[in-house]
Chain A
Amino acid sequence: MALREWERSFPRPLIDLSRCQLVDPFVLIFLVLYVRRCSEAGGRPRILLPERKDVLQWLVGTGFFEWVKEDVWTDRPIPPSLPTEEEAPFSGIVRVEDEEGIQGLVDDVCDRLAERFPLGEHSIGVLASAMLELCQNIPHHANPLDEDIDPYGLAAVQEYSDHIHLVVMDKGVGLQKSLSLNPRYRGLDDPEVLEAVLLRGASRFTDPGRGGALRRIREVVLANDGRLFVRSGQAGFWQAEVEMNIGEVHPFPGVQVSIQLPRALFG
């Protein structure tokens, strides 16, 4: 709903966070992406900062305002970041550009988790595997024809009391355009594309060994009682426990993925 509102005055929307009770990593990374998109279109969004001090402090602590820098107006000065009692539960916002840097950034995130959850090797492996595949999808698929766009890939991991939340997103060409490079999948709409990719392992490559990573991630998340959300174009895919659904969302470029794994899995 918020995106629909913002889009009416794109690229100079009013982003009202004043009554936010929580900003999760999906919203956080999406905001960075959205501000970037506004900035590229010559706009500068106005942000009403959260009234709740803890929410604002969390937002400041994530480094969000360093990412959006001069690209936004805020209704009041941004407070300085204060040290928190939490032991680094947020990975920081990470830029995903070239394939070369991906292994290092996944190791950084997972090594920190391994220190905190020494018995969580299996679950950290699940998270690492998903992160490796999702992150490399950005250099491989977000701009496959090398168009004049910046996919601006981003990732983050947040630890909550009951789950670990991984977010990887970009504002590239999206699944529909990428998949249409394979003649077999040309002409599918966004919901059909999500179904083909997530349930049937469709890929833009005709090589049988390529693609299928999102389907595999869906299966692994399901097997580990996790939750998955994938958004691309005008469609969103939800999976929680055995329930899944594909529905319409407000159009947005690129692919945005959210994975939540139960913290109990990590020991």
Chain B
Amino acid sequence: MADRLVRLAQFGKRLGTRGEGKKAQELLWQELRSLPEGQVLVVDLSGLEVLSGSFADEAIVSVVERLRGGNLPGRYLLVQAPHEELLEDLSERLARRGLALFALVGDGWRILGRLSGYLEETLHWIVQRGEATSPELAQALSISVKNASTRLTELQKLRLVELVPESRPVGGIQYRARAIISSKEKG
């Protein structure tokens, strides 16, 4: 699911310094700001040979952290890479800050950074289904609706799912979690 794509190779093929990372961060933030709500910005790492931890921290991790802090609601970010090796330092930096991010690698996907086991289980289920409400999730994972609802809220804060409000058949509002990546990508 790519609503807009930014290629980091425009900054060079070996990306390493914090200064260069800041320039990339500004570009990514600008693109996210101009993105309509509910859309996804894909950071494309193809053409890169090196993505160092320092560059990744400034360019990508700091943006994920700002989104996690509640900025630019309804905008989503993920990375796409030709191979896993390029993602190692980025994943390590995300983990250090307690963040998580979708990465599309080949025809599959993985989560970079740190995500607790129960959230990962939930996320896999949602990506497989494409979307889910709290009651559906509760039933599928044999947990309480309140617990399911908490998990969805946490994933939404991490910008890993989109929560869309909808009317409940019995009245009131409920939230439907939608995956920001397609189930065609194998986890």
Interface residues of A (CB under 8 A from B): 99-100, 102-103, 106-107, 110, 121-122, 124-125, 128-129, 131-133, 136, 140, 208-210, 212-213, 216
Query: How far is B97's CA from A132's CA once the two chains are assembled, in angstroms?
Result: 22
Cβ of B8 to closest chain A Cβ, rounded Å = 13
Contact of A136 among B13, B17, B92, B97 (CB under 8 A): B17
Are A136 and B49 in touch, CB under 8 angstroms?
Answer: no
Closest to A220 in B: B88
Cβ of A145 to closest chain B Cβ, rounded Å = 19
Are A132 and B96 in touch, CB under 8 angstroms?
Answer: no
Query: Residues of A contacting B18 with CB < 8 Å?
Result: 99, 136, 140
Query: Residues of A contacting B17 with CB < 8 Å?
Result: 99, 102-103, 132, 136
Cβ of A133 to closest chain B Cβ, rounded Å = 6
Query: Residues of A contacting B13 with CB < 8 Å?
Result: 107
| A-facing residues in B50-99 (Cβ within 8 Å) | 50, 52-55, 57, 61-62, 65, 85, 89, 92-93, 96-97
Contact of B97 among A107, A140, A208 (CB under 8 A): A208
**Known pairs A99-B17, A103-B14; A132 contacts B57 (CB<8 A):** no
Contact of B54 among A106, A128, A131, A132 (CB under 8 A): A132
Query: Residues of A contacting B85 with CB < 8 Å?
Result: 122, 125
Query: Residues of A contacting B65 with CB < 8 Å?
Result: 209
Answer whether residue B36 sits at the interface, using C-beta atoms and an 8 A cutoff.
no
Cβ of B62 to closest chain A Cβ, rounded Å = 8
